[in-house]
Structure 1
């Protein structure tokens, strides 16, 4: 019983750590490339509004980057304190992949981040632009290596087990494991959508604060059109990712759909209360044949059921159904809300020729949707990670086998400490965002010469 208590608490603790941590790389991965775009537009046109946008959003990037690094370091310690079995079993694979992230991504970020944040007045314009691109490449490489490891944990290949320890037989198979391309693209698009709605939401809030600057109009257009272009691609990639998951992790898909029996003509369950004891759904609202059509592209397509993953002695070998079922629906629901709002706003802006064309209700909707990318990302992450249970590495290492022999009270005390710190940091982060937004809105009418961006003599590329 003590092991189970430690197992549950360790899982909750790691979930809390990674839930907090993932918020900030989700922002920095895409925001770095948005900053590259802002700097490129400034270099091309000499328009100071693009540098004003750059200076505002680089502060958000720096804040997010700092919290991401701090929470990432804390999370990495848990491999040794709470999950020693993970490194003991698959450390020959996980260790080098994490090292590749440090050698490639952290090198670029450590060398060029200071130039990007503080070097605009101190280095040639081309070097500042190069530093911005280098940091963006670094964030992309960091995401790549982390998602390689995470994808391998879901679809492991390129190794062999010797005395309970994984040994590499092919690094190419490990890196390009079956789910990696889908998971990587899905996450990069999620980051893009998170940043798009963050930019649009904060711009909408500034508009409601009576900011009517040209810089605001430009960033609002960037956010809206970025969201409108990325969300249909994300929906398409999500479908491909789901089909890949169906092939390699059918139990996860069965939990996502709350489908109990393997059969054809499976309905798409929109709402239900899954009952794992009775092995059925209560109060189900569904679309006939919907799941079969989505997953098999045929109304009578056979979809795996959860009952296939119960052994003869009654042991359950599928993930908990309700968390996976509801997390998946939150993610998908927010995706379609993003589609509706971004397309409605893009259409209104195109007809009305700018932000003035947006109806006021749409502007108001963008404010709460500023954090919708965070919620959708967490929901997708919970779907993926809870859906892998009871495995830590699919079919290789169970979660129970990897947990450390730590007293439950010790895990509980550190969990409470983490939660308190994370709540304080998250409130502080959001408070700083609001402060920066209000300050930017109040200073929007200042003269270009009084703004840090007003330095046209440093522009290395003449305006065209």
Structure 2
């Protein structure tokens, strides 16, 4: 069995953990910004709908944060258990961003707790709003620090190697590696984009279920407009990421595009299959697009995958991860732009059920794009765990019990996933928007009298 191979089992368990954690991490980074925006709009417009929006989102957010803490802790544990040789070599360098990520989380969590439990104690809502600034900053800084670790694995620097040991370690220089700027920007933009479309999914679904409350219309309108902004930002940053890969990780770009021979004016391939001779078939070919993506020039030469030793070539299935990410990203730009334009022009179709179903699909599809992007990033670095220095097989544990750990953790993630859904449903079903608004209005009426 493949799970008897410790290297394969370690890779699959890490894949499982990261794929589950990234759901909560994405929401954890993105949702605080929307809580803050909703609170600010509510204060500026003196609109209880937006104030309630912020509080309800914060209430649900804290559940996802709790699960995210569990899975994030598991990742730290698995780094030591599954990849001990990597941690022995690089642990003293990546310890700083890992520690800073924990600090950023506690910074966020403290102010989130204060915000949640003091909502009715602030007469001046602007002061209450100020509590959300460190929450959003802490969430963003968590993403910043943990992404620098991934950047370091792709572009290791900040040390010297003497007799196979890292010496003269400079963790700060290691954090600000060449890969980090585009990675951090892309992680933040896609987290905000995905969170926007998840919240839009909830609002659209409630409207499809018959709700005509203006609360949901306002939530949908706000999140779709912001989602459009960040979807466009993610696409632009993705272009910078392509140029980074062309310059510093050309083998990853070549594998993602099934670009085997070095040539100028290289086309970009979407979809398709490979025949027995590794020739792409049935692919959509966009002339010169790969050269433009790589260097901004349609005649530029793009290095082919055949220039690299076979043992250093990433797996070719990363092509499908790239296609999935790009296709969904473009689709979400289209849907959110059509919504924005349609509402401005007062077209009736934006209120139709079929279009709202497209919006409902947008949240899950955006999360799928996040997953595909991370699979592209991680599989595309193969065979390296630390590019050019240590391979995955050299870093992995030799334990024969990883397969059993996979089963146990898969069970745990299933319980956590189901538990998250059950708890969130109970929180919001037991406290419908109408009831909460009635309580707020009654309280305000009592204060005025």
Q: Name the TM-score, length of structure 2 as normaliser.
A: 0.92
Q: After alignment, is 136-145 or 262-271 more displaced?
A: 262-271
Q: How far apart are the structure 1 equivalents of 2:202 and 2:165?
A: 49
SS at match of 1:316: helix
The 8 Å contact of residues 202 and 437 in structure 1, kept in 2 or not, is answered as no
- Aligned-pair distance for 1:56? 1.8
Match of 1:450 among 430, 439, 446: 439
SS at match of 1:261: coil
The 8 Å contact of residues 49 and 215 in structure 1, kept in 2 or not, is answered as yes
Residue 316 (structure 1) aligned with residue 311 (structure 2): yes
- The aligned counterpart of 2:323 is 329
Q: How far apart are the structure 1 equivalents of 2:58 and 2:77?
A: 29
Q: How does 1:29-68 map to 2 (within 5 A)?
A: 29-68=29-68
Q: How far apart are the structure 2 equivalents of 1:34 and 1:272?
A: 38
In structure 2, relative to structure 1, the CA distance for the partners of 1:447 and 1:372 (3 Å cut) is closer
Residue 346 (structure 1) aligned with residue 337 (structure 2): no
Q: How far apart are the structure 2 equivalents of 1:351 and 1:285?
A: 34
- The aligned counterpart of 1:204 is 204
Residue 289 (structure 1) aligned with residue 283 (structure 2): no
In structure 2, relative to structure 1, the CA distance for the partners of 1:456 and 1:386 (3 Å cut) is farther
Q: How does 1:123-134 map to 2 (within 5 A)?
A: 125=125, 128-134=128-134
In structure 2, relative to structure 1, the CA distance for the partners of 1:245 and 1:457 (3 Å cut) is farther
- Aligned-pair distance for 1:17? 0.3
- Aligned-pair distance for 1:438? 5.3
Q: How far apart are the structure 1 equivalents of 2:168 and 2:119?
A: 45
Deviations 1:226-266 (A, max 9, x none): 11222122111100111011111111001010111112232
The 8 Å contact of residues 200 and 366 in structure 1, kept in 2 or not, is answered as yes
Q: How does 1:350-429 map to 2 (within 5 A)?
A: 350-352=344-346, 357-407=350-400, 410-429=401-420
SS at match of 1:120: coil
Q: After alignment, is 122-131 or 74-83 more displaced?
A: 122-131
- Aligned-pair distance for 1:431? 4.6
- Aligned-pair distance for 1:55? 2.2
In structure 2, relative to structure 1, the CA distance for the partners of 1:243 and 1:405 (3 Å cut) is same
In structure 2, relative to structure 1, the CA distance for the partners of 1:416 and 1:4 (3 Å cut) is closer
- Aligned-pair distance for 1:87? 1.2
Q: How does 1:2-401 map to 2 (within 5 A)?
A: 5-103=5-103, 105-122=104-121, 125=125, 128-274=128-274, 278-310=277-309, 315-322=310-317, 324-352=318-346, 357-401=350-394
Q: How far apart are the structure 2 equivalents of 1:12 and 1:429?
A: 23
In structure 2, relative to structure 1, the CA distance for the partners of 1:3 and 1:343 (3 Å cut) is closer
- Aligned-pair distance for 1:156? 1.6
The 8 Å contact of residues 448 and 454 in structure 1, kept in 2 or not, is answered as no
- Aligned-pair distance for 1:172? 4.5
SS at match of 1:392: strand
SS at match of 1:345: helix
The 8 Å contact of residues 191 and 373 in structure 1, kept in 2 or not, is answered as no
Deviations 1:14-40 (A, max 9, x none): 010011011112012121011111222
In structure 2, relative to structure 1, the CA distance for the partners of 1:207 and 1:439 (3 Å cut) is farther
Deviations 1:118-156 (A, max 9, x none): 221245645532332222211111111101111111112
Gaps of 5+ in 2: none
In structure 2, relative to structure 1, the CA distance for the partners of 1:2 and 1:349 (3 Å cut) is closer
- Aligned-pair distance for 1:437? 5.8
- The aligned counterpart of 1:462 is none
- The aligned counterpart of 1:461 is none
The 8 Å contact of residues 155 and 177 in structure 2, kept in 1 or not, is answered as yes
* RMSD (Å), alpha carbons: 2.6
Q: Name the TM-score, length of structure 1 as normaliser.
A: 0.89
